Structure 1
Amino acid sequence: MKSSDPRPASRLERRKTRTRQALIDAARAFLARQGMAEVSIQELTEAADVGFGSFYNHFGSKDELFQAAIGDVLEEHGQLLDELTAGIEDPAEVFAASVRLTGRLAATHPQIARILTRTGLPYIDSDKGLAPRALRDIRRAMEAGRFRVKNPHVALAGAGGSLLGFLQLWLEHPDLVDENSPDELAEQVLRMFGMGQEEAGAIVRRPLPGG
């Protein structure tokens, strides 16, 4: 019986994968530092330590590379949330934990936080990262009677905008927040979704997974 395992990647394939990831990592660094504006392909390839000519073996344009870098960030963020909230059963608590963890990105994963704030509002309805997971958890919490909202997409927009605003505040004015501020934000969002103050406060006081 033949094995169904895929064949091992060749040396050339591994080198191509490393080159592509190096370009994505360089783009991530530029996104976090200054955004997409006025960054040349030459600067990107130099930062990635790859040849200029190899750029077009992987990406058709600078914009395509930056979109891949944003997708890479969103997927890393989403996987982090999945891993840390996997053991929580209550969808309202899963949602709150995701808000609390994302709110702490400015301290725990500053590059991700800066890229999220720089990419702006399109993050809220992306099919990667927190947005699809948050929408899933909002719907589950609605079905379980935990959230009292009419439109989960409107709820997601409110929560997503609040999170982006909070991350911007922390990054630009860290003196105005403290380590408990993400929990305060999560409590406010839970209450916005119809949860009582006492219950919302109890949820955000629970230990964070991975903490």
Structure 2
Amino acid sequence: MSASQDEPANRLERRKQRTRAALIQAAQALIAEGKLNVPVLEITQAADVGMGSFYNHFDSKEALFDAAVADVLDNHGALLDRLTESIDDPAETFACSFRLTGRLFRRRPQESQILLVNGLSLIGSDRGLGPRALRDIAAGVAAGRFTVDDPKLALAVAAGALLGLGKLLQQEPERDDATAADRVTEDVLRLLGLPAEEARQICKRPLPSLDGQ
């Protein structure tokens, strides 16, 4: 196929991608607002696409909402991977991800609200922060950094602490998010078996910059 024949196909593919992205963004805004019972028409109007375009991409509203949540989880997970890839110590990797996520509650309020709305159902998800935290906890146990017997149970405790932190930061906008995130991370590290002084020192270390992320 010639380059001139390829171009229309490429344009069509880009248009499809833009339509899908618009639908996902509209769904994310609605989820964050707690509007889960809206009709498909309202979603397409918010996305500024036609009703037919919706069904070219998704079989149902539920499928779209699932994709919208998955998109948030994938983006969050990819961000944490980029920012922690140079850290060798699994305890510090876990702490860095936890501290960064605590700071993202204010920086990315819509995405954070989606995480809070879906809350505990995301603990067992294979996307986003959950599997990465479980990986780091298990690696910490294997390396002798953590002393927990059940990494999945430890993940449930850590997730509850993180969700509680996110909700508190929502309810108390005057509270310093960085200080709160570091204090909760320190407590979670101690629950995982890290000595108190080491947990404190890890949570004082500089974090990768979130600027431009």
Which residue number corresponds to residue 14 of structure 2?
14
Does structure 2 retain, via aligned residues, the 8 Å contact 1:114–1:171? no
4+ runs deviating over 4 angstroms: none
Matching of residues 158-169 of structure 1 within 5 Å: 158-169=157-168
Matched-pair contact (CA < 8 Å) for 2:103–2:177 = no
Q: Is 2:107 the counterpart of 1:112?
A: no
How far apart, CA to CA, are the structure 2 residues paired with 1:84 and 1:97? 9
CA distance in 1, matches of 2:107, 2:67: 22
Q: Name the SS of the counterpart of 1:104 in structure 2.
A: helix
Structure 1 residues 35 and 150, CA gap change in structure 2 (3 angstroms): farther
Match of 2:3 in 1: none
Per-residue deviation at 1:80?
0.6
| 2:155 matched residue in structure 1 | 156
Give ranges in structure 2 of 5+ residues lacking alignment.
Answer: 1-5
1:34 is displaced (CA, Å) by: 2.0
TM-score (norm 1): 0.92
In the TM superposition, residue 40 of structure 1 has moved relative to its aligned partner by 1.4
Q: CA RMSD in A?
A: 1.4
Q: For structure 1, which runs of at least 5 residues remain unmatched after alignment?
A: 1-6
Which residue is equivalent to 2:32?
A: 32
For 1:169, give the aligned amino acid. L
TM-score w.r.t. structure 2 length?
A: 0.92
SS in 2 for 1:171: helix
Query: C-alpha offsets along residues 13-50 of structure 1, whole Å, 9 cap, x if unaligned?
Result: 111111011100100111112242x2111111011110
> How far apart are the structure 2 equivalents of 1:116 and 1:137?
20
Question: Does the CA-based 8 Å contact 1:124-1:161 persist in structure 2?
Answer: no
**1:41-190 alignment runs, 5 A limit:** 41-190=40-189
Contact 2:185 2:203 in 1 (8 A): yes
TM-superposed CA distance for 1:175, in Å, is: 3.2
Q: Deviations over 1:146-205 (max 9, x none)?
A: 000001100111101111111011112223454311000100000001111100000000
One-letter amino acid matched to 2:14: R
